[in-house]
Amino acid sequence: MIEEVLPGIVRLEVPLPRSPLKATNSYVIMDRERPLVVDTAFNRPECREAFVVLLREAGYTSDSVDYFVTHLHADHLGLAASLARNGTTIYFNEPDLPLARPDDSYWKRMGGLYEEHGLPLSDSREAIERHPGRIYGPEGDYPYTIVHDGDVLMRGGYTLQCFQTVGHTPGHMCLLVREHNTLLCGDHMLGDITPNITMWTEMTNPLGRYLESLDRTAALNLSRALTGHRSMIDDCASRIAELKKHHKQRLEEVIAALQGSEKDAALVTPDISWDLRYDKWDDVHPVQKLFATGETVAHLQYLEATGVARSSYSGGRIVYDLVASD
């Protein structure tokens, strides 16, 4: 599907087969000399074919455009390097760069970290093996052009300002269309689902950083946000308030789960309200268990950073308990 979202800017809805996200919203900023595409999709044949067809409908070929990728996740970065040809520029942020194409040692290290947080070995191994970032990421390295917060690109008569929103990933980068005060926001904000805020070895207190980024975004008084998945956001102030309320409620659930005993993240996770369909927690797919456990860790780390909880190492696991109030 192609939809004009601003004059000279169209949205391509690129299907993501067998993904709960359903599709990636890819945006084309039309330009006589060199159009700019914001985000691609998984590096898999079905996505590539759909993307090329949609881009052709918009009037371009995959080697006649430049790319701006908001963050490292495969449903945004995956196709970019394989679509690029000589002379193609792919703009990307610096903090995410080391994880653009992680090697096997990274995935092994992450699997071990999840096990330390209590995720059973069988679940962690299967989740890492089937992780979309491992299966559908870029097939090769690429000389990305690094952009920083505040940098400006000019395309299609628009002033596009890089606006960094750390939290969903260590360097997540949005693009502000100044002329319309509209944010091409990747996964920083989503209209009808909440972005995954997970643990990172490359970033401390990711939830704290995400909430700071939401406050920074609120200060823009945006007219609209063009999201990386599903519906657009027309009332940005209300959506930001909803996202902050969501995380407040999740923090309250984590605190309730810690009452009376120390627990690792995997023991806390089943006590949290998740937007998943299951009768028993054991029935949840290992990849979804991993994503949920990572979110729980991020919330536990936030509680530790704010002095509400503390962590310790016990029996090969990282466990948390509440700090007694005076």
**Per-residue pLDDT tens for 7-19?**
999 999 999 998 9
* Local confidence band at 277 (pLDDT 50, 70, 90 cut-offs): confident
pLDDT of residue 323 exceeding 90, the answer is yes
CB burial class (10 A; 0-12, 13-18, 19+) of residue 196? Answer: middle
Q: Looking at residues 260-287, what average pLDDT do you find?
A: 93
CB burial class (10 A; 0-12, 13-18, 19+) of residue 244? Answer: middle
**pLDDT one-digit tens code per residue, 183-202:** 999 999 999 999 999 999 98
Q: Looking at residues 224-238, what average pLDDT do you find?
A: 98
Q: Looking at residues 261-275, what average pLDDT do you find?
A: 96
Backbone angles phi, psi at 216, to 5 degrees: -65, -35
Half-sphere exposure of 250 (CA within 13 A, CB side): 26
pLDDT at 1: 83
CA distance 317 to 306: 22
pLDDT at 226: 99
pLDDT at 326: 63
Q: Looking at residues 72-99, what average pLDDT do you find?
A: 96
* Mean confidence (pLDDT) of the chain: 96
Q: Looking at residues 114-127, what average pLDDT do you find?
A: 95
Question: Regarding the domain delimited by 2-101+137-234, which CATH topology (the fold level of the hierarchy) does it fall under?
Answer: Metallo-beta-lactamase; Chain A (3.60.15)
Q: Could you give the residue range(s) of every CATH 3.60.15.10 domain in the chain?
A: 2-101+137-234
pLDDT of residue 173 exceeding 80, the answer is yes
**pLDDT one-digit tens code per residue, 125-152:** 999 999 999 999 999 899 999 999 999 9
